[in-house]
Every structure is written in C-alpha cells, then in structure tokens.
Amino acid sequence: MASPQPRIGVVTYPGSQDDRDALWALAALDAEAVPVWHEERELPDLDAVVVPGGFSYGDYLRCGAIARFSPATAAVREFAEAGGLVLGICNGFQILCEAGLLPGALLRNESLRFVCRDVELTVERDDLAFTGRCTTGQRLVLPVKHGDGRYLPPPELDPAQIVLRYLDNPNGSVDGIAGVCNEAGNVLGLMPHPEHAVDPLLGSDDGALILASLVDAARERVLAAI
Amino acid sequence: MRATVLVRPKQGILDPQGEAVGSALGHLGFEVQDARVGKVIDLELEAADEAAARAEVEQMCERLLANPLIESYEVEIVG
C-alpha cells in the first residue's frame, strides 16, 4: 500500500503573510496542504494544522490578540484540545499564546528593532511530533523576522516545555527560548520560520527537519486510524 | 458613560520602549529616574450606573484589553 499523504491545514487570517510558503513547503514535503480560511467555523478533515506568520488583523492591540477571536481559531482550539497537532509559527505562536493554547507571551524585541536574519538554534527535545527528525542538542539554522519576539514564560513554566533555544538570542527572550510546547506536547509555537528554510537555495533546509517531522507524525496518525 | 483604561507593562517586566524614551529625555536635558510606556483606551458605553460600567470595563480588560501575564490595568469612569 502506498504511504498515505496526511492532510495538513494552514490558516489564513487577514494579514497572514507566510501561509503560502507554509502550504508550498508542506506540499514539497509530501503532505496534502489544505488552505483554511479564517471565517471557517469547522476545520475540514485534517491530520495537523499550521498557524502561520504575518500580521493578523494588523496586530492591533497586541500581536495575536484579535486573531484569537476568529472562527478558525476557535476551530483550531477544539482540534488542539482533542489532541490534534498544531504548529504556530511567528505570528501563529503569538496567536496560540494569546488564545491560551501555549504558555507565556511575546513582547517587543529588547532592541526595539525588527530582526530579519538567520539564527542558530539548539533542539532541546526530539521526542515530539515536531522534532522527530532532529536529535536533542542538534543545531539548526532558521530565519527569524519579527519585531515582537521576546518570549516571556509564565513563572510556572515546566522547563521540559522548552523545545528550541537561540544560541545567539536575537530578541531578548528569557533563557533564549525560541519555541515552547504545551504540557501534552501536541502544540508547538516557535518564532523562527521553518517554512522559509526547506531548500538549500534559500540558505538553509533545516526547516524541513521540523516540517517533515510534523508530516511524519501526521502520517502516523493517518495509519493508526486505518 | 465614558471610561478610560490605562494599560501598563507590569512591574518587573522589561520595557525597552520606556528605556528608550527615558534616554531620549536625558538627551534633552531632563532628568528622569524611570520611564515606562503603556497605552490608553477610551471607551463610550451604556451602563445603569458607575459601578455597572466599571464591572463591565473590568471584564473587557480581563478578556481582551490587557494581557494579565505582562500588563496591569486601571479603569477610570468619567461619568
């Protein structure tokens, strides 16, 4: 039997920018990439969801604060609470924090400058659906591009929820945290952009490790359901 | 009824914007020990009385206007 193609949704909000890159990257990594419009109250049949980067709803009030009330975000919340795999990238990370699906908050970069460059990261754990193709301690190079990426964890954050750390902290994040997961490990948020780094022509293809891990995990869920 | 909401970065939270403003004031010759930058949200709403308006606006702060992890808020009702 041919290996099944998992269906991975990518949400588009007004102001999303990286939704197309995420769709392209997922399709290149052999997933069926499914666009999800922000007005959709129910998700189509999906094996994972990506909440992409951009400036949803103009990032008015606080980054991600308005997108949290969008119908598609409510559907993503239901999906995540039922154990579904959800990856939030950049603005998607901010939205998931505002929605309470991930702990903490993202504040203005310490430098007050927008940073747009490649950063080096270390993988803190490789036992998640998002890091299966990585090894703990592995270094990745991924691009960041954000003005509000300074992660502030809640005081009670379990250190085991830290999935990625910056080697060269670009924004003043506490403890160099670049990516965190929820307690159950089925929701990950990160500021760097794996979808912009899936081909060596783009400077790095390390992003493919994260996205292909997600595709693998989503495929396993399809197989488990057969 | 009119309400004004003051949203501030919580004590102890690094506020680089405030630091930049403080340093710019220093360049102008003003001496300030500390500067913090928050935001003001003015609202007009229907409410039976001041207490009802305050309760309503506090709900708005908890649910949207402030992020309790990083921001504190203060509500003024202006009749």
Asked if the model's pLDDT at residue A3 lies above 90, the reply is no
Kindly tell me the sign of the dihedral angle through the C-alpha atoms of A173, A178, A183, A188.
positive
The percentage of residues in chain B with a pLDDT greater than 90, rounded to a whole number, is 96
Q: Which residues of A touch B20 (CB under 8 A)?
A: 112
- Beta A177-181 vs A162-166: how paired, if at all? antiparallel
Cα torsion through A30, A32, A38, A41, rounded to 10: -140
Q: Which residues of A touch B67 (CB under 8 A)?
A: 62, 65, 98, 105
A38 is catalytic: no
Token pair belonging to B5: 């909401």
Q: Give the pTM.
A: 0.94
Chain A: closest CA distance from residue B17 (Å): 7
Token pair belonging to A216: 């693998």
A146 is catalytic: no
Query: What CA–CA distances, in Å, run from A52 to A112, A134, B57, B75?
Result: 23, 21, 32, 35
Q: What is the pLDDT of residues A13-48, one digit of tens each?
A: 999 999 999 999 999 999 999 999 999 999 999 999
Cα–Cα distance measured from residue A99 to residue A62, given in angstroms and rounded to the nearest whole number: 12
Token pair belonging to A110: 């310490």
Chain A: closest CA distance from residue B67 (Å): 8
A40 is catalytic: no
Asked if the model's pLDDT at residue B16 lies above 60, the reply is yes
With an 8 Å Cβ cutoff, is B69 touching chain A?
Answer: yes
**HEC per residue, chain B:** CEEEEEEEECCCCCCHHHHHHHHHHHHCCCCCCCCCCCEEEEEECCCCCHHHHHHHHHHHHHHHHCCCCCEEEEEEECC
Q: What is the pLDDT of residues A94-147, one digit of tens each?
A: 999 999 999 999 999 999 999 999 999 999 999 999 999 999 999 999 999 999
Q: What is the pLDDT of residues B22-39, one digit of tens each?
A: 999 999 999 999 999 999
Chain A: closest CA distance from residue B68 (Å): 10
Nearest CA in chain B to A98: B67
Task: Tell me if residue A164 falls in helix, strand or coil.
Answer: strand
Kindly tell me the sign of the dihedral angle through the C-alpha atoms of B53, B59, B64, B65.
positive
pLDDT of the residue at A28: 97
Q: How many CA atoms lie within 13 A of A6 on its CB side?
A: 26
Q: What is the pLDDT of residues A168-196, one digit of tens each?
A: 999 999 999 999 999 999 999 999 999 99
Nearest Cα to Cα of residue A131 among A90, A178, A169: A178
pLDDT of the residue at A2: 62
Q: Which residues of A touch B65 (CB under 8 A)?
A: 61
